[in-house]
């Protein structure tokens, strides 16, 4: 008589899930959020000691505006280049990511302050880009020097041919971590051929310093529908917003919200535009008439944001916002006794995560394993992060960090001082678990 064959019972573990409710606590995450402008005349020595008292510790971004108008008729000298370098070093040491704009004018007087010869503009662009290139903290470089306030309008250097030459200089000189940005969607299209892949200059997005200032965002958009005009012409507001919806899934977009002289229709309209255009960063000090209005409005959404102001909701959702929704452990008979941990994470922010980062799982014994995440991780996208784990008992923690410098990316869940979120506690399923015997019950 043959004896029956008994397969050894596979040891299994369960996850006693922690409470993973979303938090409204401010998150100082890199490469997103509110910013303030700091202006520097490169022909004067910056007072970095005084600047220390002007920084907002809640911000992870700053906008550095370098006015080079004093050199309109000659190349930047070593003293000017050195001042720009010291300013960038100052912010890099303090863990700020930088949006940078170099300009000939910051008072709306570009025709008076721009160089006479276009060759001088190209030489200045190459010099400025050479200073910025070594700094991985430069997140976005806005504009191409020209125009009032560097906003690429009111200048004689904005023909399609000259735009292409300026963009080529910046493309060849930009740092690997730096995005370029032009002022209007039509300028982006003039630099990128329709229907080609890649379409033209890579790592290029947009900035908009006229958001909500008028129906066309103070001249950012045109009036004709896409069906009635060409690829490289301005389009109507509706068509441009659709264009931005697509482009800004792949490239950062930000700038300034501007008071129009009358209240927008309702808070929901504001949120719809910010989400459709994928706004990553906004100026927190301009325009205060509009921002104060947002502070007085209640957020129109339900849940934890139902009692928050519109301003607080906008600030929390600029850029990306990663929320852990839940975790579960499944037995995996094919893995030699190991288990499968699945963690659901949603990006609820207005925009994508554009920079490479990793999610780190910490085991009960302190061992860490990383899972690198493909980017962009788009707004509204939910991912199931998966690990094979041994059947051990104890706490599991989740954290995230940027690849290039290890800067912490905070999840929008309650976390410890190191930014780690408790997923839950593993226990063995062997009748009465050790956790139950020790008094910890589900």
Q: What is the pLDDT of residues 380-412, one digit of tens each?
A: 999 999 999 988 899 999 999 999 999 999 999
Q: What is the pLDDT of residues 353-381, one digit of tens each?
A: 999 999 999 999 999 999 999 999 999 99
Mean pLDDT value of segment 92-101: 97
CB contact burial 157-174 (16+ within 10 A = b; e otherwise): bbeeebbebbbebbbebb
Least confident interval from 2-6, 220-224, 239-243: 2-6
Question: 13-22+321-431 and 33-317 share one CATH topology?
Answer: no
The three-state secondary structure class of 159 is: coil
Check: CB of residue 46 under 8 Å from CB of residue 87.
yes
Whether pLDDT at 152 is above 60? yes
Least confident interval from 87-101, 197-211, 300-314: 197-211
Q: What is the pLDDT of residues 21-31, one digit of tens each?
A: 999 999 999 99
User: What is the per-residue pLDDT for 426?
Assistant: 92
Least confident interval from 149-158, 366-375, 412-421, 428-437: 428-437
Tally Cβ neighbours within 10 Å of residue 185.
21
DSSP letters along 343-363, please? EEEEE-SSS-B-S-EEEEEE-
Q: Report d(CA 71, CA 140) in Å as an integer.
A: 23
Structure-block tokens of residue 153 = 């309008």
Check: CB of residue 383 under 8 Å from CB of residue 343.
no
Whether pLDDT at 136 is above 80? yes
User: What is the per-residue pLDDT for 117?
Assistant: 97
Question: To 5 degrees, how large is the angle CA 297–CA 300–CA 306?
Answer: 95
Whether pLDDT at 248 is above 60? yes
Whether pLDDT at 435 is above 60? no
Instruction: From 328, 323, 346, 325, select the one nearest 396 (Cα to Cα).
Output: 328
| 303 phi and psi angles, rounded to 5 deg | 80, -150
Whether pLDDT at 239 is above 80? yes
CA distances in angstroms from 247 to 45, 199, 201, 267, 281, listed in the order given: 39, 12, 13, 24, 16
User: What is the per-residue pLDDT for 261?
Assistant: 86
Check: CB of residue 224 under 8 Å from CB of residue 181.
no
Give 82 or 200, the one with higher predicted confidence: 82
Q: Report d(CA 140, CA 54) in Å as an integer.
A: 22
Q: Indicate the domain borders of the chain.
A: 13-22+321-431, 33-317
User: What is the per-residue pLDDT for 5?
Assistant: 41
User: What is the per-residue pLDDT for 7?
Assistant: 43
13-22+321-431 folds as Immunoglobulin-like (2.60.40)
User: What is the per-residue pLDDT for 338?
Assistant: 84
One of 3.20.20, 3.40.1620, 1.10.3470, 3.40.190 is the CATH number of 33-317, namely 3.20.20
């Amino acid at each position: 008589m043959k004896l029956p064959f008994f397969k050894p019972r596979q040891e299994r573990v369960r996850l006693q899930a922690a409470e993973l409710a979303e938090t409204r606590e401010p998150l100082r995450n890199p490469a997103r959020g509110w910013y303030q402008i700091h202006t520097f005349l490169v022909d004067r020595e910056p007072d970095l000691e005084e600047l220390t008292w002007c920084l907002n510790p809640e911000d992870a971004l700053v906008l550095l505006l370098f006015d080079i108008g004093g050199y309109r008729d000659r190349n930047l000298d070593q003293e000017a280049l050195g001042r720009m370098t010291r300013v960038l070093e100052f912010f890099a040491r303090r863990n700020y990511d930088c949006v940078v704009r170099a300009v000939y004018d910051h008072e709306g007087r570009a025709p008076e302050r721009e160089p006479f010869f276009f060759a001088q503009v190209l030489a200045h662009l190459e010099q400025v880009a050479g200073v910025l290139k070594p700094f991985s903290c430069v997140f976005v470089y806005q504009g191409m020097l020209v125009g009032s306030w560097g906003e690429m309008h009111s200048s004689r250097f904005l023909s399609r041919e000259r735009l292409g030459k300026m963009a080529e200089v910046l493309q060849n000189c930009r740092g690997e971590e730096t995005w370029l940005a032009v002022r209007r969607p039509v300028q982006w299209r003039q630099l990128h051929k329709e229907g080609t892949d890649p379409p033209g200059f890579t790592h290029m997005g947009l900035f908009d310093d006229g958001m909500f200032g008028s129906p066309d965002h103070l001249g950012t958009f045109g009036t004709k529908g896409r069906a009635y005009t060409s690829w490289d012409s301005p389009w109507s507001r509706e068509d441009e917003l659709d264009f931005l919806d697509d482009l800004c899934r792949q490239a950062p977009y930000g700038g300034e919200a501007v008071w129009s002289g009358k209240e927008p229709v309702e808070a929901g309209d504001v949120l719809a535009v910010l989400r459709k255009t994928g706004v990553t960063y906004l100026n927190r000090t301009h325009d205060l008439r509009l921002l104060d209005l947002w502070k007085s409005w209640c957020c129109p959404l339900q849940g934890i944001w139902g009692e928050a102001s519109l301003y607080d909701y906008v600030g929390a959702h600029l850029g990306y916002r990663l929320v852990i929704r839940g975790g579960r452990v499944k037995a995996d008979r094919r893995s030699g006794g190991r288990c499968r941990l699945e963690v659901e994470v949603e990006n609820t922010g207005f925009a994508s995560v554009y920079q490479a980062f990793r999610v780190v799982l910490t085991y009960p014994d302190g061992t860490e394993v990383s899972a690198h995440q493909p980017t962009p991780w788009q707004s509204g996208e939910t991912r199931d992060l998966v690990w094979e784990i041994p059947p051990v008992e104890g706490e599991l923690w989740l954290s995230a960090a940027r690849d290039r410098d290890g800067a912490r990316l905070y999840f929008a869940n309650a976390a410890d001082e190191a930014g780690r979120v408790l997923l839950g506690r593993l226990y063995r399923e062997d009748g009465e678990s050790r956790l139950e015997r020790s008094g910890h019950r589900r």
